[in-house]
Amino acid sequence: MPTKLQPHLTLLAYLYYMLQPILFALLLLAAFGLFAWQVRKIRANILVGRGRDMSGHAAVRFRKTLLVAFGQQKMFKRLTPAFLHLIVYVGFLVINIEVIEIVIDGLFGTHRFLGLLGPVYDGLVAVNETLGALVIIAVAAFWWRRNHQPPVRRFTGVELRAWPKLDANIILYVEVVLMAALFLMNSADLKLHRLEGRFLPGVYPVSHFLMSLLPTTNLGTLHLLERVGWWAHITGILLFLNYLPSSKHFHIILAFPNVWYSRLVPQGQFSNVESITHEVKAMMDPTYEVPTPPVGPDGSALAPTPFGAKDVEDLPWTALMNAYSCTECGRCTSVCPANLTGKLLSPRKIIMDTRDRVEEKYNSPLIFQPNIYGEEAKHEPVTDLMQATLLRGKVTPEELWACTTCNACVESCPVNINPLESIIEMRRFLVLEESAAPNSLNVMFSNIENNGAPWAFSPSDRFNWADELFVAEKVTA
Amino acid sequence: MTPTIPTPPAAAKRQMTVPTVADLAAQGKVPEILFWVGCAGAFDDRYKRVTRAFARILEHVGTDYAVLGLEESCTGDPAKRAGNEFLFQMQAMQNITVLNGYGIKKIVTACPHCFNTIKNEYPALGGEYEVIHHSQYLQQLINEGKVTVKGGESFQGRRITFHDSCYLGRANNIYEAPRDVLAALDADLVEMKRSRANGLCCGAGGAQMWKEPEPGKKDINIERTEEALATLSGQAAALDNLRGVETERTAPAAHSLQGSIIAVSCPFCMTMMSDGVKHQEQESTVQVFDLAELVASAEGINR
Ligand code: SF4
Ligand code: SF4
């Protein structure tokens, strides 16, 4: 038997529905404005890097993006985490459809606007609810893998300092809160409609069950609970949106462009430094015309760009986008031969250091302040931000020299990040600008220069292997 | 009547003269394919045996080939990986000048590092060639029936595991050619847990060959050799302790190590794996061979 709403509540509800579109529009505006402001900062940070032409090959890039970013191809090297991640990922995609409905409802005072889709809506809600429940389970599994003693090896390491550790768990907690709000909203709404004998579009496999657990039959309270769930859900999403730029969770956005702009050449191919090509050609052929160096706006010669990378602006912009796309999953580090035999090198750390450095030197997003969260474990606090650099300030030569350029990190990264490229750029700086290679490598260099071989052999012995060379005639039966 | 067992004729050997591109040029000829020997192939005592085995195969099948001989120089790969781009480009341009001067179109090499550099990094500097690794070349010879890998040493029933070279595998996506070659040998092929795209580096790439490793708990080649030995002998427990593995597989059956082979297709892997086997004091049970040596031996021409 449906009871009538309390008169004062009706008035309140009336007022509320008058104000809701305005409140909601303001909230949306603030959230998206803030997000755009943060994204602009990050875009500026990425563009600090050296120019690199990544245009063209749209068809190949599109296929790659479909496979690696949308299709999560590289996650499926290992089934358990791939499956858990897939749940959360598909949940994320479906929730975006639901957000569209929330925005329409919020702005126009409609209720479950997409309900007009009929059976499609039924399916949508059912999938959404099922995924929501699975997400909670997946997140619990993630939390356990990450935090139990001992956690999976790739969730430990020097680079996972206070902030990255906290960040990883915050994401998990937020996801649970968002799902809880969704279920509160749906179950209260469902119960309210049932009690009032009205029809609510959608099929609710989870809320149908939760509904009976709600400890009230008061329609006003149910109404209130539904609104609380609704607001909590959308506010949570918008807050989370603005948390992303400070978090490794930004990968849910940047993974797509990052894969799109990933290298298409064989992994073994390293870039040839163009300015050096001109120099070498000029040395070999005196008639070769070296292109004139770039000049500044006032016509004076610009300071030459250094060879290799000392700081973030010496890296190509793609490397900086890499740093913002990193999920800090540690797959790269867990397959790095140097890392797993106990050397200091961790490709994940190189990537994380790059992001920390660019935010320390240029813009930082809302919450994340590298000098608050990032520094306590390994480094002296940076006093002069402009003096310190990525190389030596964060990444030590010892780390760089331990790399075998094996490409295992590149192969393993689920979002196509290339830590090796940054390592080589920094090695170039050490060798070409500072002449700071380990001594044994300098010996190797001079052997190549003098003997045409990395070892100290006489070039005249190069063909000795062919002396006294016999071949047996094959015995045929 | 007692059956008479025919004694095989004493294998005849003949001396071969390895042609150089300069010799051919003097006769107005250009070889169809240039065999790029590489510094390790030319100077490293162990890898010289591989160079000789591969030259025997080329001679045996009648390939129209030649080598640069004294005109060959380091490709510059170790300099480039160590960050010395200037030295790399000096080497590259010199080599390109020589190669282009002789009109070379096609190159085969046993060294994945030379292969990668010439194939991927020389084109932007003016050196465009068709470059193939010797594993691909051997696979082709076997497919065409030019080499039957029969008549010489038999590998039947012997355990072989293949160590993927990073510069062949991940760097250039060549995983199947060396495996096809080994499959033709009739041996008992076993795969390491970390193989193909998940293969573990031998520890020598990126110019590590020329320096001491940075301080750590273990050398990379020891870790890799332990895995190879555990795979060959089927020690499941040792394999389960491996870290960084991204594939799952069932426990292997225990097996004697005696007579097993670690197959490589790279001079640096050869050095690293051989050192690893020595470190584990297994050099009397396990041998490290390059694909070319295995093929030449199975073909009965490696003497
Ligand atoms: S390329 Fe270097 S950093 Fe990457 S996994 Fe190999 S050794 Fe580690
Ligand atoms: S670089 Fe890639 S593999 Fe490494 S931690 Fe970041 S996302 Fe993971």
Residues of chain B contacting residue A428, judged by C-beta atoms under 8 Å apart: 83-85
Q: What is the pLDDT of residue A466?
A: 97
Nearest ligand to the CA of A409 is 1
| Rounded CA separation B209/B78 (Å) | 9
Q: What is the pLDDT of residue A299?
A: 74
Q: What is the pLDDT of residue A328?
A: 95
Q: Which two tokens stand for residue A398?
A: 């010892």
Question: What are the start-end ranges of the E strands in chain B?
Answer: 13-15, 33-36, 65-66, 106-109, 130-133, 159-162, 188-190, 261-264, 287-290
DSSP codes of every residue in A153-166: GGG-STT--HHHHH
| Rounded CA separation B6/A10 (Å) | 111
CB contact under 8 A, A280 and B93: yes
Q: Which two tokens stand for residue A263?
A: 């290298």
CA distance B159 to chain A (A): 25
CB contact under 8 A, B248 and A79: yes
Pocket test for ligand 2, best of A158, A254, A331 (most atoms within 8 A of CB): A331
Task: Residue A474: name the closest of B8, B5, B294, B184 by CA.
Answer: B8
Which residues, listed in sequence order, are joined to residue B108 by a DSSP beta bridge?
A: B35, B132
A464: nearest CA partner in chain B? B42
Helix ranges, B122-164 (H): 134-143
Strand A470-472 with B13-15, pairing:
antiparallel
Question: What are the start-end ranges of the E strands in B103-219?
Answer: 106-109, 130-133, 159-162, 188-190
Report ipTM (2 d.p.). 0.93
Q: What is the pLDDT of residue B153?
A: 92
B94: nearest CA partner in chain A? A284
- Segment 15-44 of chain A within 8 Å of chain B by CB: none
pLDDT at position B6 over 70: no
Q: What is the pLDDT of residue A384?
A: 56
Residues of chain B contacting residue A454, judged by C-beta atoms under 8 Å apart: 39, 74, 78-79, 209-210
Residue B14: which of A267, A269, A473 has the nearest Cβ? A473
Per-residue DSSP letter, A381: P
Give the position, in ligand 2's atom list, of the atom nearest the Cα of A330.
Answer: 5
A324 to chain B, any CB pair closer than 8 A? The answer is: no
CB contact under 8 A, B14 and A78: no
Pocket test for ligand 1, best of A345, A352, A411 (most atoms within 8 A of CB): A345
Q: Which two tokens stand for residue A416?
A: 């196509």
Helix (H, G, I), strand (E, B) or coil at B13: strand
A107 to chain B, any CB pair closer than 8 A? The answer is: no
Helix (H, G, I), strand (E, B) or coil at B264: strand
| Rounded CA separation A143/B289 (Å) | 47
Ligand 2 pocket, A327 CB below 6 A?
yes
In terms of pLDDT, which residue wins out, B236 or A360? A360
Angle at B54 between CA B52 and CA B57, to 5 degrees: 115
Ligand 2 pocket, A352 CB below 6 A?
no
Look at the pTM and tell me if it is higher than 0.80. yes
CB contact under 8 A, A463 and B220: no
pLDDT at position B286 over 80: yes
Residue A431: which of B82, B166, B170 has the nearest Cβ? B82
Give the position, in ligand 2's atom list, of the atom nearest the Cα of A251.
Answer: 7
Pocket test for ligand 1, best of A322, A353, A403 (most atoms within 8 A of CB): A403
Task: Residue B225: name the closest of B253, B201, B190 by CA.
Answer: B201
In a mutational test of the A interface, the residue from B74, B154, B249 whose CB has the highest number of chain A CBs within 10 Å is B74
* Length of chain B in terms of residues written: 303
Task: Residue A340: name the closest of A424, A390, A409 by CA.
Answer: A409
Per-residue DSSP letter, B31: -
Q: Whose CA is nearest to atom 2 of ligand 2?
A: A413
Nearest ligand to the CA of A326 is 2
Mean pLDDT across B185-214 = 94
A467 to chain B, any CB pair closer than 8 A? The answer is: no
A199 to chain B, any CB pair closer than 8 A? The answer is: no
**A284 CA to middle of ligand 2, Å?**
42
Q: What is the pLDDT of residue A1?
A: 31
Spell A393-428 as b/e; 16+ CB within 10 A means b: bbbebebbbbbbbbbbbbbbbbbbbbbbbbbbbbbb
Residue B244: which of A334, A455, A474 has the nearest Cβ? A334
Angle at B82 between CA A288 and CA A290, to 5 degrees: 15
CB contact under 8 A, B81 and A424: yes
Under the banding of pLDDT at 50, 70 and 90, the label for residue B185 is very high
H helix and E strand count, chain B: 12, 9
CA distance A269 to chain B (A): 5
| In the block, residue with structure tokens 């008058």 | A18
Task: Residue A268: name the closest of B39, B219, B165 by CA.
Answer: B165
Ligand 1 pocket, A337 CB below 6 A?
yes
CA distance B149 to chain A (A): 10
A447: nearest CA partner in chain B? B74
Exposed/middle/buried for residue B257 (C-beta within 10 Å: 0-12, 13-18, 19+): middle
Q: What is the pLDDT of residue A388?
A: 81
pLDDT at position B3 over 80: no
A444 to chain B, any CB pair closer than 8 A? The answer is: yes
CA distances from A203 to A206, A210, A445 (A): 9, 13, 71
Helix (H, G, I), strand (E, B) or coil at B130: strand
Q: Is the peptide bond before A21 cis (omega within 30 degrees of 0)?
A: no
| Rounded CA separation B79/B89 (Å) | 9
| Rounded CA separation A176/A173 (Å) | 5
Residues of chain A contacting residue B290, judged by C-beta atoms under 8 Å apart: none
Ligand 1 pocket, A424 CB below 6 A?
no
A76: nearest CA partner in chain B? B246
CB contact under 8 A, B120 and A268: yes
Lowest mean pLDDT among A93-102, A171-180, B133-142, B156-165: A93-102
A267 to chain B, any CB pair closer than 8 A? The answer is: yes
Residues whose CB is less than 8 angstroms from the CB of residue B32 and which lie 6 or more positions away in sequence, other chains included: B63, B64, B65, B106
In a mutational test of the B interface, the residue from A77, A155, A280 whose CB has the highest number of chain B CBs within 10 Å is A280
pLDDT along chain A (477 residues), means of 10: 49 85 96 96 95 93 95 89 93 88 93 93 95 96 91 87 87 96 96 93 95 91 94 96 94 96 96 92 87 76 85 96 96 96 96 92 75 47 64 93 98 97 98 96 97 96 96 79
